[in-house]
Structure 1
Amino acid sequence: MSLNTLPADARPREKLLARGPASLSDPELLALLLRTGTPGRGVLQMAQEVLDSFGGIAGLLHTTADDLKRINGLRGPAKRAQLVAVLELARRALTQQLKEREVFSSPGAVKQYLQLHLAEKGHEVFAVLFLDAQNRLIAMEELFRGTLTQTSVYPREVVMRALHHHAASVVLSHNHPSGTVQPSRADEALTQTLKAALALVDVRVLDHVIVTRGDSLSMAEKGLL
């Protein structure tokens, strides 16, 4: 069943144009992208199944094209490509925002940006946001990858990349695939080690953000820097 077969007052597209996007439910918004369902399953039902499978909109934003293959109706490339493109647009919009304004004028955007990049990875990743003198984003780099519980981080490499980007400050970040957002003692020790190493080249550590699926923690806000 496609959107065109729904009653006029129940069609998401017409509802959006008449009342605005905020009037649509999550399944209705997703149905606009999917456009058609499968035999015996309407597009709104399919949209709800997709959301249920990935834990809602937040979970869907972290999926990959391969993840989407497990949904009947998304095994072909067209719809999967469309959904993944929306995710990439969200990433690029946040990147542009962070490059155009001071990072800490919108700390929520920083956390969203890092969650989009790191939260759904099945292995631990250590990343660094390199910032200019106005605290605007120069670049983000995933510098180290590890297992589910541990990443080997080399301070010398972090310092070298900061010098390469002529960074004035950095935001450190890593994910916890286990789902526990609280920093470990090892996380706190690593933060202090990197803070000391970067201070030698006059680069400030502004924060260390830990992300999990659906949650994030700023060590600066917790007074751990």
Structure 2
Amino acid sequence: MSLVELIGQADERGLAASGLACLDRCIPLLGGDDEVLRPLWAGLADDAGAAEWGERLEQVRGKLGGEFGVADGGDGESDAGGSGDFSGSGSGEDEAVLLARRMLAAAPVERSADGVRVWADACSVAALRIHRLLDPLKDAGDSVDARREGRTEGMSPLVAAELRRQITVLELLAGHGPAGLRPALEVSTEGRRVLRAVVSRRSRRRG
């Protein structure tokens, strides 16, 4: 089953975990520590956590600093909202950071199924774009949309690993419900370490 199909079939908890996992793996771009999203992960374990999602989300935004309100493009449409497109106009690592910031900015304050579905889908695209931007090897595909739909020929290693992790998180939640959260977090932690190492190498090369 393709990533797009898995997102389409996921329930509210699976969608929230999927979006959160994508953001978690990209936290090194925001200067966050490895534990910054743990309160949001903990809130996914039971239904009561949905009521505290918004408060915990604001706490995370406060810890990471910066302005995380979704920018208005002047026509009443947000840059990171309903369109599900977080694409930026920069390049390389600057664009990757912008994409990560917009993932956090667009996280819905209310953890409703409709809201987290749009967010999870957009986070999926953004996380794949981030890995594509930072991969030292070129991804031969035309777009990340093709990868999400199952066309995986010529994928670069970093993009392939991110796609695999996104699929694994959704499969864990679909197959095991709340019990899938711990292994999903482990998958995300592995990906975060990989991206942190990539960012560190790029920083050393610039130095």
TM range (shorter): under 0.3
Structure index of larger Rg: 1
Which is richer in helix? 2
| Higher RCO (CA < 8 A, seq sep 6+) | 2
TM-score, length basis structure 2: 0.27
TM-score, length basis structure 1: 0.26
